[in-house]
Amino acid sequence: MFEKVLIANRGEVALRIHRACREMGIRTVAVHSEADANAMHVRLADEAVCIGPNRSRDSYLNMPAIISAALITGADAIHPGFGFLSENADFAEMVERHGITFIGPSAEQMRMMGDKITARAAAIKAGLPVVPGSPALESVEHAIEWANKIGYPVIIKAKDGGGGKGMKTAFNDAEVKEAYTMARAEAKAAFSSDTVYMEKYLQKPRHIEMQVLADKYGNVVHLGERDCSIQRHHQKVIEECPSPALNQQQREEIGEIVRTAIEKLGYTNAGTLEFLYEDGKFYFLEMNTRLQVEHPITEAISGIDIVREQIRIASGATLGYSQKDITFSGHAIECRINAENPETFIPCPGKINEWHAPGGLGVRVDSEIYSGYTIPPYYDSMIAKLIVHGKTRNAALMRLRRALEEFVIDGVQTTIPLQQEIISQAEFIDGQYNIHWLEKFLEKKQNSKPKAKDI
């Protein structure tokens, strides 16, 4: 087992990794920007190293600085968390070249699944169901040709995309021309590559993902599915598991398909396969070769510490259990609490005057916020995750309602009021929603506001 792990991240995920390490008797090294000098994970880690100025590109994306911090402190492994360098194959290679273990899959596996075009080909070869789609698009004419082959509507996507960037829908030839140009421009700006491809655009799908764990000896398990359909601009807002849309036979079938595919791919460590689900059919979207933001809800129903398993697998340990040993209990829901205006979604960094996290049976809060902490303006606006677990979905919903009422964050605006609205809607309570539901709800809410009278 490792003696010292460097955590190449910030915020709640850095604290999450620190906690897993400490429970395993592993010392930790926190790296931080100048803006995060007073962050909780920095205060709790055994050692801390400042790796640069406030901006991410000068600190948390500064690969040489992170490697230097690991070498100086004698860390024998690096956990990348999620975001930043967590799916950067060049970073994983650099870590290994310096004799340090990267806690995650290999660089080769990252490259295969990180490129959405090669990932799609690998998925087909591994037996996963996929959305009808195209190869890399070479021109507007090529895009129109494929759109007519696939059938409208279609969506054009950046091959290196994520977070909704470089994604444009089209319902006819004229819209394809505009979508192709705009998607390439966005992709170039966000990912330094303007390569795009096309898929059939499903109009009322749910976003279902499957969590997997795989060791270096060919042992693979899945930990069930998560429903991440409550999202805005492809950014997840609320997640739950199991999905209210699936029956037991469906989840067992897709679970076995995914587990077998991971075996064929030879993948190791933790990963998540994302699908669109519509009319009883699954369509592979992409694979995330890292820890997911929403991993706590899977931990709640499976009883398995996913971060601990990541560390164990990277150290060379076997899983020690098979699929038949995995059991699921109850229902879990997660709310991503962002420091944002709940109507305009404009980030609201600033000082936390008062902080009170909810507690009680079946309530978990992942956050490194504390009273007096100042949220810096340089990073993602997510400041906490509220996770609840109950014996049934209804019990979890009631617990979530209570926990959101109990949550006190004074000094900045947050998305809590929006999440309270969402979980009170009949469609959400009944589990009758898809990936477009939230945006339509927000649009309807905006349109119902009184219009200012003309002067």
Q: pLDDT tens-digit profile of 352-394?
A: 999 999 999 999 999 999 999 999 999 999 999 999 999 999 9
Token pair 């390490």 is found at 21
Longest dimension (CA), the chain: 73
Q: Are residues 28 and 7 in contact, defined by beta-carbon separation less than 8 angstroms?
A: yes
Q: Is 249 exposed, middle or buried (0-12, 13-18, 19+ CB in 10 A)?
A: exposed
Backbone angles phi, psi at 418, to 5 degrees: -65, -45
Tens-place pLDDT, residues 261-307: 999 999 999 999 999 999 999 999 899 999 999 999 999 999 999 99
How many other β-carbons are positioned within 10 Å of the β-carbon of residue 3? 11
For the question of residue 290 being annotated catalytic, the response is yes
DSSP for 84-106 reads: TTTT-HHHHHHHHHTT-EESSS-
Name the phi and psi angles at 194, rounded to 5: -100, 20
Asked whether 153 and 203 are in contact (CB, 8 A), the reply is yes
Question: Which domains does the chain carry?
Answer: 4-103 (3.40.50.20), 132-200 (3.30.1490.20), 206-446 (3.30.470.20)
Q: How many Å apart are CA 103 and CA 91, to the nearest integer?
A: 12
Q: What is the pTM of this model?
A: 0.91
Candidate list 290, 312, 364, 399, residue with the active-site label: 290
What is the C-alpha separation between 46 and 80, in angstroms, rounded?
17
What average pLDDT does the chain have? 96
331 phi and psi, to 5 degrees?
A: -140, 145
Give the DSSP letter of residue 244: T
Please tell me the predicted confidence (pLDDT) of residue 292: 97
Task: Give the end-to-end CA distance of the chain in Å, rounded to a whole number.
Answer: 72
